[in-house]
Amino acid sequence: MKKPMDDNANAAVEIHDSTLECITSDGDALVAVLGAYVHRSSGRPGIDAGTGWSQTVHLRFLRGRASGDEGMVPMGLLDGHLDVSGERFNNMFPMPFNRIGPTRIELQGWNGIRIVIEGEGVMAAFVGEARYIEKFLASESRTP
C-alpha cells in the first residue's frame, strides 16, 4: 500500500467520484459518511499534479438536519457544493475542514437524486487509512 504523499501535502475532497455511504445521528449532530475521492498535492489539490486516493471522511454537522432523498443512501455522487457562512466550495473542499456558522451541503446523485444537510457548523475528518488510486496530472481546467 502506498502512503499518502507526506503529512504536509495539501488535500481536498472531490464530491464527484465520492459516495455518500450513510447519514447517522450523534446527539444533535448529523454525520455524513463519505467514501471520498481525495486529491493530494504539494500545490493546489485538484489543479496541480499529485495523486488520487480513496478514504473515508466524516462530515459532522452541528445541530444538523437532512432533507431530500435520504432513502436513496448509499449513493454515488455526481456533483455538489458546500456553503459555510457565505463561502461556497463547488465540488471540492479542502481538508482538514472545520468551520462554525450557517452550513449547507447539497449533494447530487444519479437520476436527479438530491440530499441537503444543514447545520450550524461542520467538522470534517479523515477516518482510517487512505488507499492509493492514481497519479493526477496538472489540469487548469478543473477548479476546486
- pLDDT, one tens digit per residue, over 72-95 is 999 999 999 999 999 999 999 999
User: What are the beta bridge partners of residue 120?
Assistant: none
pLDDT at 27 over 90: yes
User: What are the beta bridge partners of residue 91?
Assistant: none
Cis bond leading into 4, ω under 30°? no
What pLDDT does 143 receive? 44
Dihedral angle at the C-alpha atoms of 81, 83, 87, 88, nearest 10 degrees?
10
pTM for this one? 0.88
Domain boundaries, the chain: 10-136
